[in-house]
Amino acid sequence: MGYFLFVNTQWVPAVLMLAVIFLQLRWLLELLDNPAVSPETWQHIRFDETLGKFTHDGTGELAKTIVHKMNDAILKIRNSRNEKEAEHIFYKNIVMHAGIGLIIYRQTDGRIEILNTAARKLLRINRADNITDLKEISEAMVHAFQRLKTGGRELIRISTGDDFMQLSIYAIELTLRGESLKLISLQNIRNELEEKEMEAWQNLVRVLTHEIMNSVTPISSLASALEQEVSAGKAFDKEQMADMQLSLQTISRRSANLISFVREFRNLTHIPKPRPETLRVKLILEEIQQLFKKELEEKQIQCRVEVQPDDLTVEADKALLEQVLINLVKNATQAFDESADEKHIIMKGFCNERQRPVITITDNGPGIEPEALEKIFIPFFTTRKSGSGIGLSLSRQIMRQHQGTLTARSQPGKGAEFILRF
């Protein structure tokens, strides 16, 4: 501008430039005096609120468009936030009024985030701020909460005055916004357990009665016949002596069977406590395969081991796990018809969808009838004449002591599969 005034003495352009600068300064001052966004709106934005809105008092189209777009964005954020808050309240109400007891607490400090109505009624408390507050009800229960990992389950007996509860505890570990939480579900399954216990006792008594009567009836009959013969006081010829000897042998044999039965029953009720160690599934299955190698070759049964991943491991007592696998493989070898052309047994190890180790023993034998499939884990139930009926029941008890399960599935004519879940 000085160039126009002093060098070229062209003052007209200089005056025009001064006028433009003056107008721009005036517009800037007006904008500062009347901002498009009110101070209250800036405060709402600062504190993450969406109640305010942008305003514009000028006539500029660009400013109007920007203000309109910003208000639309705020409206969408507000609606989205309202929907999420409504969903949060909806799901929280579901959790609070669910029929099963639910507790959610922080794993870092034990602070309880949710203690629903069912849990309060079940534990007979009005409120609890920290998980340690529940130790007044049962320390064993709180220790179970802290010890259980995702998918873990435990049964705890809790005394409540003159009564007691059998609490089934199930745990899931969660992460919410970087915070480690644990969700605990509680159910009093005392009535269900008592019903199952009664049913189990009825089944056991039925089987025991059947087995004992099968042994005692012929013993009683033969003993009575021998007593009558001896009481008659007459001499016995060689043929009669042979009959008496045969009768005594039968009594001795049936008595031995009865003693063996009682011994098996005693074994069923005295399972040693597991001593878990880390075991490679592939090595265990290959050892079982080697153990049955001669029998498999004699019966022309093909057996193979499939483990994925190759280094899959389980935490189990080696001797007890081997006992379970031996029972299952032995059952599979005995299930085949001698006339069958192709006989296969497959032992697999893998991780399920919850990344828990699973072992399966599968055969392509005749399978198990649906009626028998429901009873095969009942003590002393057997479908074979030479079977004792305790192998599967014992195996299931061993798996339960490992906090695992043993189940079976089968279709007649399509083989059977036994599944060990750890």
The Cα 173–Cα 180 span in angstroms is 7
Give percent above pLDDT 70 in the chain: 71
Whether 116 and 134 have beta carbons less than 8 Å apart is answered as: no
Residue 5 in this model has a pLDDT that exceeds 50: no
Q: Measuring CA to CA, which residue among 107, 144, 149 is closest to residue 356?
A: 149
Residue 214 pLDDT more than 70?
no
Whether residue 349 contacts residue 281, with contact meaning beta carbons closer than 8 Å, is answered with yes
State which H helix or E strand residue 59 sits in. Answer: none
Query: Contact at 8 Å (CB) between 64 and 56?
Result: yes
Contacts 24+ apart (CB under 8 A), 172-179: 173/107, 173/149, 174/104, 179/106, 179/108
Integer Cα distance of 328 and 321 in angstroms: 11
**Rounded-to-integer distance, Cα 37 and Cα 71, Å:** 11
Element (H, E) at 102: strand 101-106
pLDDT, tens only, 84-110: 777 777 777 777 777 788 899 999 899
Higher pLDDT, 310 or 73: 310
Q: Give the phi and the psi of residue 393 in degrees, each rounded to 5.
A: -65, -45
What value does the mean pLDDT take over residues 65-76?
Answer: 74
Query: pLDDT higher for 383 or 405?
Result: 405
Tell me, yes or no, if the pTM score tops 0.75.
no
Q: How far is CA 1 from CA 5, 10, 15, in A?
A: 7, 9, 9
- Cα–Cα distance, 280 to 241 (Å, whole number): 61
Cα(148)–Cα(151) distance, integer angstroms: 8
